[in-house]
Structure 1
């Protein structure tokens, strides 16, 4: 199933305060929850986008595990439906990846391009497929699931005829508690020592992006899925992706980093933990870069309520 649900922009405008910054080829977007608690209506309005994002993977994983796409409460595998059956840590990662697409399709990011996400790549997560297959047959087999390799998110800028003009590749991170030192660990990787004497091993997000291929594997995966799902409707898109993969160059790439978190007690409104005017020296790729910080007052509760509501009519 292709992703075809428009983003709930009115809902986002109501629940998130927007602060934009940046210059030239760098953009910073700070989104802060501005309601004390998301209502049931807020969650219900977000739900269709998240269902659309996960439906392709749900079809694949359910079919592989031999369970219905929408099993009855007492049916085989009803306890093991994707994505709600996954461990909380895995679900929080999925939330960040969907948020990349939701934000790219909803806000004006660096470069002013109109991004679209024809399909999310959640089916490309073999450990989840194995986990659900096992869980259907043994409900006690609950364990952590490794994250999906590769880019967390890819969106496309399409011309009217479907030609790919550019693409955006995103890395998403969720943290329950986020401080400046936690951000350093996410972005710079492991470190030794304390304070200003700390030496970083450069194996974090900055290194991942700096060493990323101009045309990543995710482009091949999108191309394959469009051929499978709607080869005629996306013929021009598929052709331009094929050309890029054969040449290993173009269309131009924009990098995206999204960090979502609960608001720390010491973090005041309007405070960004990543640079707002220009990228730091740690970013060396030289491409357009969009940083997004999402600060939620009750993020873990929001994620749990949202994912528990997927494919349920009662919200």
Structure 2
């Protein structure tokens, strides 16, 4: 027996999230894993982080994809990434107000080689100067995005919107504190911790326990001036894990439910 409530209904082929393209599933997996690790492990500053909600529902292109796929099963395509912060976590004071938050970039790569990580952080390689044959990173990677992020990113507003909808009473003080930080005139300051979360399959030549990103001091490419936490997660068979995880949520016929 399938656990899908509308398993025999029209449009049931559009099962969320396992009908989404694998690239999109990897993004969802990265955000969920970032949440688990953020709540479990000690980050810089030793704050107690809370991930009350994820920002999946703000993936507008996934919404369009599901809407169309339910009406035409042949409309399978890739989806573009979600705009804004990949991940938000909050720290609450004794009154339940937000006194600090994490704004994170979570990135998956099939094989997390040093070259792949450098491309994520520093941008794609381009010929510079043109015609020289010399390849350099274009400087438009994660460091650039994090350095340019406004003090109160749109992701915090999105998190607040979900809290208003799903848990307004429980998080009333948090919602109010975010309101006070979102106003354009004389906003309340909420300190930010930047999180870079890198996850992918383990490359064959990586030495166990050795990170690629500098961790004893902040990398020189990072200039935002906030607390910075970098997490590297190397998986064995990560792609197979993600495929099995998402295909099992609403399986055809319910055999694995």
**Fold match by TM threshold 0.5:** yes
List gaps (5 residues or longer) in structure 1: 1-68
Q: In structure 2, what is the equivalent of residue 188 of structure 1?
A: 122
List gaps (5 residues or longer) in structure 2: 129-133
* Kept in 1: contact 2:112–2:234 (CA 8 A): no
My pick for the range that moved more, 245-254 or 287-296, is 245-254
* Kept in 2: contact 1:115–1:155 (CA 8 A): yes
Q: In structure 2, what is the equivalent of residue 278 of structure 1?
A: 217
Distance 2:50 2:73 in 1: 38
Q: Which of 163, 178, 184 pairs up with 1:226?
A: 163
Q: In structure 1, what is the equivalent of residue 99 of structure 2?
A: 165
Q: In structure 2, what is the equivalent of residue 25 of structure 1?
A: none
Instruction: Give the 3-state SS of the residue equivalent to 1:294 in structure 2.
Output: strand
Distance 2:182 2:139 in 1: 29
Greater helix content: 1
Q: Which of 147, 152, 159 pairs up with 1:215?
A: 152
Distance 2:187 2:120 in 1: 29
Distance 1:222 1:193 in 2: 40
Instruction: Give the 3-state SS of the residue equivalent to 2:13 in structure 1.
Output: helix
Distance 2:151 2:250 in 1: 37
- Alpha-carbon distance, 1:311 to partner: 5.3
- Alpha-carbon distance, 1:248 to partner: 4.2
1:303 and 2:242 correspond: yes
Q: In structure 1, what is the equivalent of residue 203 of structure 2?
A: 264
Distance 2:91 2:248 in 1: 31
RMSD: 1.8
Distance 2:13 2:207 in 1: 40
1:99 and 2:33 correspond: yes
Quickly say closer, same or farther: Cα 1:73–1:224, change in 2 above 3 A: closer
Quickly say closer, same or farther: Cα 1:275–1:202, change in 2 above 3 A: same
* Kept in 2: contact 1:110–1:289 (CA 8 A): yes
Q: Runs (4+) of structure 1 moved beyond 6 Å?
A: none
Distance 1:201 1:173 in 2: 18
* Kept in 1: contact 2:24–2:81 (CA 8 A): yes
Distance 2:62 2:198 in 1: 23
Distance 1:219 1:273 in 2: 29
- Alpha-carbon distance, 1:232 to partner: 2.1
Structure 2 counterparts to residues 5-20 of structure 1, below 5 A: none
Distance 2:187 2:225 in 1: 17
Q: Give the total of aligned pairs.
A: 245
